Structure 1
């Protein structure tokens, strides 16, 4: 079998974007079942990215560095 004969899914070549994940019908069904809104996920990602950028790990990080 040659490479041109293979039907490769784009996800096998790398990670999907957060936008793609949050628009995936199965992911949306699971999130709906669990009461999670896409906006909640985006907010958590933004907050986490900001904390990483500012090197602020919050109370857990402070407790770990004090140990």
Structure 2
């Protein structure tokens, strides 16, 4: 997640100041790293349940009435 945040800043700097070569580098070089950082952020937030407990502590179906 931290690497994705750093790559996002690098992506913006290279994209704004790099011209055509910077555009190609940001598209194929830094964009996958930024995407992995965003994916790590989503996984981090989705691993915590609504009450702050992790999904490992309580079943996902425990709150569903029967």
Query: What TM-score range do you get, normalising by the shorter chain?
Result: 0.3 to 0.5
TM superposition score normalised by structure 1: 0.32
What TM-score, normalized by structure 2, do the two folds share?
0.32
More helix as a share of residues: 2
